Chains A and B, each alone.
Chain A
Amino acid sequence: MRIFKKLATSVALAGAMFGTPAFAQDDVRIALVVKALGIGFFEAANEGAQEAAKELGNVEIIYTGPTDTTAEGQIEVINALIAQQVDAIAISSNDTDALVPVLKRAMQRGITVISWDSGVATEGRQLHLNPSSNPLIGNMIIKLAADHLPNGGKVALLSATTTSTNQNIWMEEMNAVMGDYPGIEVVATVYGDDLADKSYREAIGLMQSYPDLDAIIAPTSVGIVAAAQAVVDAGKVGEVNVTGLGLPSEMAGAIESGASQSFAIWNPIDLGYSATMLAYELSQNGAEAAPGGEIPMGRMGALTLDENNEGAMADPFVYDASNIDDFKSIF
């Protein structure tokens, strides 16, 4: 009996050892590792990855991640992926540094590693795909307002706190390209501290101080929603256009009421698509991730890498009445 059991186990083990590589030969297996499963944003990224897989033909996407947003959970997942000898790992990380050792080990085993959305330190990946870049975002927020003001007009900024790094950089980049938008005048910058009530009050104050205000630009998700509500309550829908950066699920009401004509944020579908394309190029087509290099990513064009091997995917994606319904349930 004992011998039989041993024998059975060995046979099973041998079968598994032969079986797995044989299965792996067919498809290029790209693992899309996300911060946590069950988040709409990442489910949408998976959708994009599947799209890329279909386009490439011989790719199998392994969509995986921990059940909560922890680095430990992701380390376990990556260890499992290394054991399965996947071809590439594309990760949106929960920690910049904690994942470096395990990702280094993956690279030593010949696995292509890239990060997207939320990056890891330079030594832990071959390249990092940013959804967008600060200059692109800075340009986009003023463009969103200017597109609806063909004859020029007055716009005001409603930011988060005076010390928010992201918002300050975006506004700086916006000011750098103001020359491209003649006739658009930024009359004020106010701060809503990412609190709904303060942002609302500041937006009301803006409309009082500048009765001929044409647009409020809020590059922050709390601010843009609060400003849209303030415009509705002040009865200024159609006069003041609220725009900036927000999430489709949160802004659906504002688009519906007409308080906001359009707003922008990165498109997770494009992001998943591009990450998959990049991982494929690096692992199968011998593309080299080096500063200054350009790597093609299908319909999204090419990614240009900077000195840290980071690149920006594209302009933030614009959402308006025509596409909000498709996205509001996603993220």
Chain B
Amino acid sequence: MMRFIPVREAILGSAILILIILVASRFAGFVAPSNLVNVFNDTAPLIILALGQMVVILTRCIDLSVAANLALTGMAVAMINVAMPGLPIPVVIAIAVLMGGIMGAINGVLVWKLSIPPIVVTLGTMTIFRGIIFLISDGKWVNSHEMSAAFTGFPRAVLLGLPALSWIAIMTVIVFGIMMARTQFGRSIFAVGGNPHAAVYTGINVGKTQFWAFVVSGALAGLTGYLWVARYAVAYVDIAGGFELEVVAACVIGGISIAGGIGSVGSAVLGAIFLGVVKNALPVVNISPFWQLAISGSAILIAVAFNARSGRTKGRIILKSAEATQ
């Protein structure tokens, strides 16, 4: 039984449950199914981005440019929509994923071929992407009345009781679940993060794997860029400002080791949901806004402390260090 419900996921899952019960004791409407659907839908962009970030962190890298990538893609597709309102939404989504992927590839190439530390690369590209938004938009907003109805309507379209935004998050989770567990790429990601030197000897190209991790993360950021802009029906330079830190926080809460190699799809999703519940609960439990930041910060620290204590070696170690195995 324990094999199927790992300890970390169990702890996080119960923490989320306790949190929801606590919130419900102060505001009963929070546990209404319709509200829980709303909370999940609100958390969907974070889940998608956290999965992309997870892949990058697993390979011992970090992608701080996701929010800027999201904002740039969002602005670009919004401007494309204004210029060509008739463009079908699947094409818009394809453009968003492609654009995001290309930006991710830029990060990947810099890390792979020039061996620049990922934190430096993505800090740089983060600023560059934000700057480009300014250049292409002239600092102007793209507003809801300029976007076509189909463009803003897609993430809201309800299918089987859930908005499309939530379904995309669920599909991403399923695809990632299969990818990480069943494909060569998924296993090489764990191998590269777990022990890069050993990975080289098994024929895995470390740099190339990291490159593809960045591409995956970028493509997801691009996809989220469209969803974000369509959902809030506005595109401007600062959208999702500081969101990259929330994405990294979701991963860290989910117990994905910043040192690489340890983590799972389930825990990243739970980490994102934990943050999503906190963010959605704070406005309704009537806590002074002056305390809200401190509370969400402490929640992150407590979650991480729990995680750090709950079994350090329980990661999915495919290639062990020589000294550890003896």
Question: A196 — which chain B residues lie within 8 A by C-beta?
Answer: 232, 234, 236, 239
B143 within 8 A of A: yes
* Known pairs A195-B238, A197-B240, A201-B42; A229 contacts B144 (CB<8 A): yes
- Tell me if B233 and A201 are in contact (CB < 8 A): no
Chain B 204-243: CB-based contact to A (< 8 A → 1; otherwise 0): 0000000000000000000000001000111010111111
Cα distance, A249 to B82, chains bound together (Å): 14
Contact assessment for A162 and B241 in the assembled complex, using a CB-CB cutoff below 8 Å: no
A66 to chain B, nearest CB (A): 15
Q: Does A252 contact B (CB under 8 A)?
A: yes
Asked if residues B232 and A190 are in contact (CB atoms below 8 Å), the reply is no
Partner of B144, one of A206, A208, A225: A225
Q: Mark A227-252, 1 if CB is under 8 A from B, else 0.
A: 00100010000000000000001111
List CB contacts (< 8 Å) of B152-206 with chain A.
156
Q: How large is the interface on B (under 10, 10 to 19, 20 to 34, 35 or more residues)?
A: 20 to 34
Contact in complex: B143, A249 (CB < 8 Å):
yes
Tell whether, in the assembled complex, residue A209 and residue B144 are in contact, meaning their CB atoms are under 8 Å apart: no
Task: Say whether A104 faces chain B, with CB atoms less than 8 Å apart.
Answer: no
Q: Which of B4-12, B14-22, B108-116, B280-288 contacts A (4 or more CB under 8 A)?
A: B280-288
Q: Mark B234-273, 1 if CB is under 8 A from A, else 0.
A: 1010111111000000000000000000000000000000
* Residues of chain B from 30 to 47 with CB closer than 8 A to chain A in the complex: 30, 35, 38, 42
Residues 143-197 of A at the B interface (beta carbon under 8 Å)? 162, 188-191, 194-197
Residue of A nearest to B141 (CB): A250
Given A191-B289, A253-B145, A254-B144, A197-B232 contact (CB < 8 Å): yes
Min CB–CB distance A70 → chain B (angstroms): 14
Q: Does A205 contact B (CB under 8 A)?
A: yes
Rounded to whole Å, the gap between the CB of B252 and the closest CB of chain A is 20
Residue of B nearest to A195 (CB): B241
Nearest CB to that of B144 among chain A residues? Answer: A253
Measured in the bound complex, the distance between the Cα atoms of B29 and A257 in whole Å is 27
Instruction: Give the nearest-CB partner of B138 in chain A.
Output: A38
Closest B residue, CB atoms, query A189: B289
Q: Quick check: is A204 within 8 A (CB to CB) of the other chain? A: yes
Interface string of B275-305 (1 = CB under 8 A from A): 0000110111010011000000000000000
What chain B residues lie within 8 Å of A190 (beta carbons)? 283, 289
Chain B: minimal CB distance from A81 (Å): 26
Residue among A162, A195, A197 with most chain B CB within 10 A? A197
In the assembled complex, which residues on chain A have CB atoms less than 8 Å from the CB atom of B146?
A: 253
A209 touches B286 (CB 8 A): yes
User: Closest Cβ of chain A: how far from B72's Cβ, in Å?
Assistant: 16
Chain B CB within 8 A of A200 CB: yes
Bound CA–CA A328/B145 (angstroms): 10
Whether a CB of chain B sits under 8 angstroms from the CB of A270 is: no
> A208-B29, A233-B156 are known contacts. Are A201 and B143 too (CB-CB below 8 A)?
no
Nearest CB to that of A159 among chain B residues? B289
Q: Given the complex of chains A and B, what is the CA–CA distance between A48 and B12 in angstroms?
A: 61
Query: In the complex the two chains form, what is the Cα distance from A202 to B143 in whole Å?
Result: 20
* Contact between B234 and A250, CB atoms less than 8 A apart: yes
Any chain B CB within 8 A of the CB of A226? yes
A205 to B282, CA, bound (A): 8
Query: How far is A253 from B289 in the complex, measured between Cα atoms in Å?
Result: 29
Q: Which residues of A contact B156 (CB under 8 A)?
A: 233
Contacting A at CB under 8 A, from B53-102, are none
Query: Using Cβ atoms and an 8 Å threshold, which residues of chain A touch B30?
Result: 208
- Indicate if the CB atoms of B290 and A202 lie closer than 8 Å: no
Residue contact A162 to B239, C-beta cutoff 8 Å: no
Taking a contact as CB atoms under 8 Å apart, the answer to whether A205 and B232 are in contact is: no
Look across to chain A and name the residue whose beta carbon is closest to the beta carbon of B140.
Answer: A249
Q: How long is the Cα–Cα vector from A158 to B228 in the complex, in angstroms?
A: 21
Chain A: which residue is nearest B283 at the CB level? A205
Q: Is the CB–CB distance between B283 and A202 below 8 Å?
A: yes
- With beta carbons under 8 angstroms apart, the residue of A202, A226, A250 that contacts B232 is A226
Q: How far is the CA of A226 from the CA of B42 in the complex (A)?
A: 14
Q: How far is the CA of A43 from the CA of B243 in the complex (A)?
A: 35
Report yes or no: A209 in contact with B27, Cβ–Cβ below 8 A: yes
Residue A256 at the chain B interface, CB threshold 8 Å: yes
State whether A250 touches B143 (Cβ < 8 A).
yes
Expressed in whole angstroms, the Cα–Cα distance for A191 and B42 within the complex equals 18
Judge whether A253 and B233 touch: CB under 8 Å: yes
Let me know if A229 and B238 touch, CB within 8 A: no
- Of A191, A197, A206, A252, which one neighbours B145 at CB under 8 angstroms? A252
- For A221, give the chain B residue with the smallest CB separation: B141
Instruction: Given A201-B283, A225-B234, A226-B232, check contact A208 B143 (CB 8 Å).
Output: no
Residues of A within 8 A of B144 (CB): 225, 229, 252-254, 257
Known: A208-B29, A229-B233, A233-B156. A256 touches B145 (CB 8 A): yes
Contacting residues, chain A, for B236 (C-beta < 8 A) = 196, 222
- Find out whether the CB atom of B27 lies under 8 angstroms from the CB atom of A208: yes
- Residues of chain A lying within 8 A (CB to CB) of residue B286: 188, 209
Q: List, in ascending order, chain B residues with CB within 8 A of A162's CB.
A: 289-290
Of all chain B residues, the one with the shortest Cβ separation from A163 is B290
Q: Which residues of A contact B284 (CB under 8 A)?
A: 205, 208-209
CB nearest neighbor in B for A324: B145
In the bound complex, what is the Cα–Cα distance between A197 and B235 (angstroms)?
A: 11
CB-CB nearest in chain B for A203 = B283
Q: How far is the CA of A233 from the CA of B38 in the complex (A)?
A: 11
A selection of 25 A-B contacts at a CB cut-off of 8 Å is A189-B289, A190-B283, A196-B239, A197-B228, A197-B232, A197-B239, A200-B232, A201-B42, A201-B280, A204-B283, A205-B280, A205-B283, A208-B27, A208-B283, A208-B284, A209-B27, A225-B144, A225-B234, A226-B234, A229-B144, A229-B233, A229-B234, A251-B143, A253-B145, A328-B145
Contacts A204-B38, A206-B283, A250-B143 aside, 15 further interface pairs with beta carbons under 8 A come to A190-B283, A195-B238, A195-B242, A197-B243, A201-B280, A201-B283, A205-B284, A208-B29, A225-B144, A229-B233, A229-B234, A249-B141, A251-B143, A252-B143, A256-B145
The 3 lowest CB-CB distance pairs between A and B, nearest first, are: A205-B283, A253-B144, A253-B145
